[in-house]
């Protein structure tokens, strides 16, 4: 192998430890500092752990084109198994991953996206009507409301309308498990005390399992409608070449879908609303577009009719991808650009670094939705490589179409119906290791217009 250039990174045990700590406590800032000091691809070593951060889009493209057998996911996501279960596709490798993901994938067919669009708008209107009165400004933490909204939408999309009345109850049972998943790594370490996040998450998962078992029983007795648009029904019916998911696998995939979609989508919604609210022209363009194009019969196809909302979401995802990096364990030496990443390393590609790379994006720190409306032939290819908030290939986000549709519709509806003035008048600090959320929430004064 001739890729023997040393991977750049901090020198000496102390500098490496300091960087590793910063990556855990303040990942976005630590990534920026690493890139400034050592370039977009770098290595941090602490004892036996070698963490290779890959933020150069050409290098990431090479990693994502490498055969999956060079990587393993189980160990890097180990702490999450308490929530998502041992058979979740996220912690599965090889054939198990292929089978579990393959059976879940058709559940996201376009036909279902169309029917979900209507529910997304209905739930958004319900929340706005519950929380705000026309013409009466009120202070609210929008991030908390965004989480409630995404939880309600997720439960409706998963279970269909039959469990609509119980959406809040189901959401509340799930919440402790989601809070655990959002904890920094230290909070996830096994702990014997009964009141830790871990213990609460464990109890929540047991409750969710018994709820799911009851739903499975009900559905099977009543007979599952093959035309149903609920994700759970689609999973209950899933079958390829005689293969099915057993009930334990089904429960794990369902909790995985809730877990993977909940924190990510609500965090990105908050970043999108924060960015757009601080950009009066963008807010007015969103409002005008929504007033013209959105009615109660929203469909997935209609998202194409709100290109400015979609561009606003894409631009927010460029600056604030849900996760600062996506890790995997390297199980055989692989080539990445001029380097060899050694077997045993943890490789984490970083959409955060790629989204801020000045070689690809003009004025990268400025929020400009328009850049996603115009094609720019000179850098189109680079931009496609550098904008991957949902990953790419066989481990990419299975819910990306739902997430993009949801975020565009929600952003459009919020702008159409609300005026939002952020309390701090600036973009919040990012926090969180797995999902980047606005630190301290998103306090704002909100005035309902319609």
For ligand HEM, the binding residues in 388-407 under the rule CB under 6 A are 389-391, 395-399, 402-403
Smallest CA-to-CA distance from 28 within 234, 228, 320 is with 320
Q: How many residues bind ligand HEM (CB under 6 A)?
A: 24
Which range touches ligand HEM (CB under 6 A), out of 46-54, 210-218, 235-243, 254-262?
254-262
Per-residue contact track with ligand HEM, 96 to 115, x per CB under 6 A?
-----x--------------
The DSSP H or E segment spanning 250 is: helix 247-277
Q: How many Cβ atoms are within 10 Å of 446's Cβ, its own excluded? A: 21
Smallest CA-to-CA distance from 362 within 349, 351, 352, 376 is with 376
3 state SS of 398: coil
Per-residue contact track with ligand HEM, 308 to 327, x per CB under 6 A?
-------------xxx--x-
The correct pick among 261, 324, 355, 432 for binding ligand HEM (CB under 6 A) is 261
Q: Is 256 in the site for ligand HEM (CB under 6 A)?
A: yes
* Least separation in angstroms between CB 73 and ligand HEM: 7
Q: Is 270 in the site for ligand HEM (CB under 6 A)?
A: no
Q: Is 268 in the site for ligand HEM (CB under 6 A)?
A: yes
- Residue 60 neighbours by CB under 8 Å, 6+ apart: 54, 349, 354, 385, 388
* Least separation in angstroms between CB 255 and ligand HEM: 10
Residue with smaller CB distance to ligand HEM, 290 or 435: 435
For ligand HEM, the binding residues in 56-95 under the rule CB under 6 A are 89-90
Measured CA to CA, the distance from residue 373 to residue 307 in angstroms comes to 8
Q: How far apart are the first and last CA of the chain?
A: 64
Measured CA to CA, the distance from residue 384 to residue 331 in angstroms comes to 28
* Least separation in angstroms between CB 402 and ligand HEM: 5
Which range touches ligand HEM (CB under 6 A), out of 47-55, 140-148, 336-344, 386-394?
386-394
The correct pick among 255, 257, 277, 412 for binding ligand HEM (CB under 6 A) is 257
- Asked whether 167 and 155 are in contact (CB, 8 A), the reply is yes
Count how many Cα atoms sit within 13 Å of the Cα of residue 148 in the half-sphere of its side chain.
Answer: 16
Strand partners of residue 136: 133
| Contacting residues toward ligand HEM, per CB under 6 A | 89-90, 101, 256-257, 260-261, 264-265, 268, 321-323, 326, 389-391, 395-399, 402-403
């Amino acid at each position: 192998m001739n890729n023997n250039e040393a991977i750049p990174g901090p020198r000496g045990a102390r500098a490496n430890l300091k960087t590793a700590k910063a990556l855990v406590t303040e990942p976005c800032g630590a990534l920026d500092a690493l890139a400034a000091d050592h370039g977009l691809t770098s290595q941090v070593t602490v004892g036996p752990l070698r963490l290779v951060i890959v933020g150069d889009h050409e290098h990431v493209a090479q990693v994502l084109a490498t055969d999956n057998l060079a990587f393993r996911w189980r160990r890097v996501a180990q702490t999450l198994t308490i929530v998502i279960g041992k058979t979740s596709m996220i912690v599965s490798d090889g054939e198990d991953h292929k089978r579990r993901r393959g059976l879940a994938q058709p559940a996201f067919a376009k036909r279902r996206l169309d029917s979900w669009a209507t529910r997304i708008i209905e739930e958004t209107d319900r929340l706005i009507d519950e929380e705000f009165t026309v013409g009466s400004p009120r202070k609210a933490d929008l991030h908390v409301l965004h989480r409630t909204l995404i939880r309600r939408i997720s439960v409706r999309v998963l279970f269909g309308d039959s469990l609509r009345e119980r959406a809040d109850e189901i959401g509340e049972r799930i919440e402790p498990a989601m809070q655990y998943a959002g904890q920094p790594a230290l909070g996830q370490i096994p702990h014997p005390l009964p009141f830790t996040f871990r213990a609460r998450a464990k109890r929540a998962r047991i409750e969710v399992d018994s709820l799911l078992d009851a739903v499975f029983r009900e559905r099977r007795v009543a007979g599952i409608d093959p035309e149903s648009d609920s994700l759970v029904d689609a999973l209950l019916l899933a079958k390829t070449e005689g293969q099915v998911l057993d009930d334990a696998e089904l429960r794990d995939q369902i909790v995985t879908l809730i877990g993977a979609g909940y924190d990510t989508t609500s965090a990105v919604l908050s970043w999108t609303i924060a960015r757009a609210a601080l950009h009066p022209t963008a807010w007015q363009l969103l409002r005008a577009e929504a007033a013209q194009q959105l009615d109660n019969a929203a469909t997935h196809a209609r998202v194409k009719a709100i290109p400015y909302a979609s561009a606003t979401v894409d631009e927010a995802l460029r600056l604030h991808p849900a996760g600062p990096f996506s890790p995997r364990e390297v199980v055989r030496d692989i080539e990445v650009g001029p380097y060899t990443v050694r077997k045993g390393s943890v490789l984490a590609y970083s959409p955060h670094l790629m989204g801020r790379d000045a070689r690809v994006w003009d004025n990268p720190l400025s929020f400009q939705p328009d850049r996603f409306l115009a094609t720019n032939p000179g850098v189109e290819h680079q931009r496609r490589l550098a904008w991957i908030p949902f990953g790419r290939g066989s481990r990419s986000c299975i819910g990306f179409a739902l997430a993009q549709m949801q975020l565009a519709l929600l952003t459009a509806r919020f702008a159409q119906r609300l005026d939002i003035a952020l309390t701090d008048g600036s973009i919040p600090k990012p926090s969180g290791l797995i999902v980047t959320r606005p630190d301290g929430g998103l306090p704002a004064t909100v005035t309902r217009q319609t």
